[in-house]
Amino acid sequence: MSKLKGFKWKYYINYAVVFVVGLILTLMSFTVGLEQSTIYLLEKMLIAIILAVSLNLVVGFLGELSLGHAGFMCVGAYLGGKISLILADKLGTGPLSLIISLTVGGLCAAICGVIIGLPALRLKGDYLAIVTLGFGEIVKSIFQNTSKESFGGALGLDTPRYDKYTLFIFGFALVLLTLAVVQNLMRSKHGRAITSIRDNEIAARATGINVTKYKLMAFTVSAFFAGIAGVLYSFSNFKVNSYTFGYNYSIEILVMVVLGGIGSINGSIISAALITFLNTKLATILTGDKAVLQNLFYAVILIIIVIYNNSPALKGFREKYDLKKMFSRVVKHNDPSVIRDDQGKWARIPTKIPMDEILSTDVQPNQSTLKPDKSKEDK
């Protein structure tokens, strides 16, 4: 019982939701049977969730913009697809070869993450964004110009067909794995080091945090899951073509992260699923030149959300109409037996204090310590 005291349900609610949804859909697919298009849509959603959560690790928690997420995905998709082609002759298309190719794809993307991250993470902000963008384009053009025998060249690589249901269950398992790794990383000592780099890199360095190590850690883990998502993508579409993984794809993932809330994992899950669903539904309504209305909509939403969430001028407005606070004001805990340990004065301490504020604080020397108490001395 004492162990369960620290157990917080809100930390595990997303696993539970994903698990239950996965279970229901799996049962449905075996008993009622799902349509081919529904399964394809679900796979796309799962891929988007993995991508958004892993990008959120870099954008939300490390605080750096990576525009090369599609590049890591591309590496994973091609190498995982190639391995599965080799394995298909020997092991067939069972779960074992699926696991091996997922691992290989993820690891290759992670290695790419280390290779590009080691030098690039000395940079930050706009420069890092441009370098990762460049990395994505380099990867794209390398795979485009490979020979037909190795990676299919401009026509793309055909991947073996796996059983639809296996892939779909694997997708859910991988989403759970991504959540487990990312959330546990962020709640550990390493996660706190990563967020401290986001908040103030110089202060973090001064406290003895190995900035390069933690930056590289976040970058590599993010690349690993992007690679895994790439492998899933290649099996879900039966084909990999490097044209897909351009700069626009990276932006699309970024839109999911921003809409869900930068730094919020649950937000990323919801917005990734929602945007993928909307994209597929809108694609049937908006055809031809109208399809671009969708991009226009996303662009406007992106701008509005970022300005609303970050503008210094709107700070007062945001605090006044904070949805979370308004909600907590409505739902009051009247039960006196419920002790809310995170309420009270500790809740009001800002977690993110700007450096200027710390430096500008006038430290008033305590008068009583400066003046020795003479009355005591006399005695």
Per CB under 8 A, 319 contacts another protein: no
Site membership for another protein, residue 359 (CB under 8 A) = yes
DSSP-assigned states of every residue in 63-125: ----S-HHHHHHHHHHHHHHHHHHHHHHT-SSHHHHHHHHHHHHHHHHHHHHHHHHHHTTS-T
Partners of residue 240 on adjacent β-strands:
157
Shortest Cβ 281–another protein spacing (Å): 19
Nearest distance from C-beta of residue 251 to another protein, angstroms:
6
8 A C-beta contact, residue 67 and residue 127? no
178-217 residues near another protein, rule: CB under 8 A: 202
Backbone angles phi, psi at 123, to 5 degrees: -90, 165
Query: Position 200: which residue type?
Result: N
DSSP secondary-structure letter at 357? H
- Shortest separation between residue 300's beta carbon and another protein, angstroms: 6
Q: Which of 115, 278, 283, 293 touches another protein by CB under 8 A?
A: 293
With helix as H, strand as E and coil as C, how does 249-296 read? Answer: HHHHHHHHHHHHCCCCHHHHHHHHHHHHHHHHHHHHHCCHHHHHHHHH
Q: Report the first-to-last Cα separation within the chain, whole angstroms.
A: 57
SS3 157: strand
**Does 251 sit near another protein (CB under 8 A)?**
yes
The interface mask with another protein, positions 94-133, x = CB under 8 A, is -------------------------xx-xx-xxx-xxx-x
Counting contacts by CB under 8 A, is residue 296 touching another protein?
yes
Selected binder of another protein within 289, 319, 342, 377 (CB under 8 A)? 289
Q: Does 286 bind another protein (CB under 8 A)?
A: no
Give the residue, chosen from 24, 285, 307, 353, that forms a contact with another protein under the rule CB under 8 A: 307
Q: Is 137 in the site for another protein (CB under 8 A)?
A: yes
How far apart are alpha carbons 289 and 158 in whole angstroms? Answer: 30
Q: Does 298 bind another protein (CB under 8 A)?
A: yes
Nearest CA to 159 out of 97, 236, 95 is that of 236
**Residue with Cβ nearer another protein (87 or 255):** 255
Q: How many residues does the chain have?
A: 379
d(CA 258, CA 254): 6
For residue 133, the minimal CB distance to another protein (Å) is 7
Contact 141, 71 (CB under 8 A): no
When asked if residue 145 is in the footprint of another protein (CB under 8 A), the reply is yes
Structure tokens, 234: 């290649």
Q: Nearer Cβ to another protein, position 293 or 326?
A: 293
The least CB distance from residue 69 to another protein, in Å, is 13
Amino acid letter, 177: L
* DSSP for residue 147: -
- Binding of another protein at residue 63 (CB under 8 A)? yes
- Min separation Cβ 374 and another protein, Å: 42
Closest separation in Å from C-beta 373 to another protein: 39
Q: In terms of CB distance, is 63 or 105 closer to another protein?
A: 63
Q: How many residues touch another protein (CB under 8 A)?
A: 49
- Binding site residues, another protein, CB under 8 A: 59, 63-65, 119-120, 122-123, 125-127, 129-131, 133-135, 137-138, 141-142, 144-145, 202, 247, 251, 254, 258, 262, 289, 292-293, 295-296, 298-300, 302-303, 306-307, 309-314, 355, 359
